[in-house]
Amino acid sequence: MPEVDLADDTFVVAPAEELAARLAGLAFWRTCWPAIELSPYHDRGAEGMRWYAGGALSGTAELWLEPYRDGTVVHVFLRADPARGTSPPRRLARLRRDYAVSLKTALFALKDEMESGRAVGTSRIPIPARPSTRGPDELHIPAATGAEAPAEVHTEVTTEVRIDERPDAAGAAPDTGRAAKTAQVAEAGQDRDSAATRRSATRPA
């Protein structure tokens, strides 16, 4: 296991392509780790870069740019040993801390620069508004007036009358023949009146 094993993650609200343009070159790393000489051996484009590390340390370094939501997570790995050989534990702990603090300070400065002008808590990518599920009354939509007013609706009420043919209280069917008998009696009465009228008309005076 290397004596200096550093892993750092920093989220920056910026596209991976813009971060790659700033971090894949050596200018940033010379400011961050001036005692380390980096030689690139694997350019991964917008995904990052891999270097051989020389100078004060001997090993490898890696930059991995991971797109996440409206920004990018900047992953930095440094795995190396001191070029002078094994250092005492206290000196080695201080060396690790110095490299970690220098890296974080430089990344925070880059983060502040690339996120300048953006309100805290707002997204870099506009979020589309959700369609409303509220009704017209809740949305306070004014009623249509003038030519836009809906035509008056006329309602026609139809009353339906049904004859109740249910059995009476005694359980017997309704007397449907009673009306027929009444009609027959009325017709018979009309016939008698007509006959009497004819006899009166033919009787000598």
Domain that holds residue 56: 4-114
Mean pLDDT of 132-159: 56
Q: Classify strands 57-68 and 71-82 as parallel, antiparallel or unpaired.
A: antiparallel
> 135 or 104, which is more confident?
104
* CATH number of the domain residue 81 falls in: 3.30.530.20
pTM of the model: 0.60
User: Does residue 187 form part of some domain?
Assistant: no
User: Does residue 54 form part of some domain?
Assistant: yes
Task: State the pLDDT at residue 33.
Answer: 96
Domain count, the chain: 1
Q: Rounded CA gap, 138 and 150, in Å?
A: 21
User: Does residue 70 form part of some domain?
Assistant: yes
User: Does residue 96 form part of some domain?
Assistant: yes
Helix ranges, the chain (H): 16-23, 27-32, 89-114, 136-139, 177-202
Mean pLDDT of 187-195: 57
In which region does residue 48 sit, left (phi positive, over 0), alpha (psi from -120 to 50) or beta (all else)?
left
Q: Rounded CA gap, 65 and 20, in Å?
A: 8
Q: Classify strands 57-68 and 48-55 as parallel, antiparallel or unpaired.
A: antiparallel
User: Does residue 181 form part of some domain?
Assistant: no
> 195 or 33, which is more confident?
33
Residue 29 has pLDDT above 90, yes or no: yes
Task: State the pLDDT at residue 159.
Answer: 53
Note the pLDDT tens digit of each residue in 78-103: 999 998 877 788 999 999 999 999 99
Where is average pLDDT lowest: 30-39, 129-138, 143-152?
143-152
User: Does residue 179 form part of some domain?
Assistant: no
User: Does residue 66 form part of some domain?
Assistant: yes
Q: Rounded CA gap, 165 and 51, in Å?
A: 102
Share the mean pLDDT of the chain: 78
Note the pLDDT tens digit of each residue in 54-85: 999 999 999 999 999 999 999 999 999 998 87
User: Does residue 195 form part of some domain?
Assistant: no
User: With bands split at pLDDT 50, 70 and 90, how would you rate the model's confidence at 169?
Assistant: very low
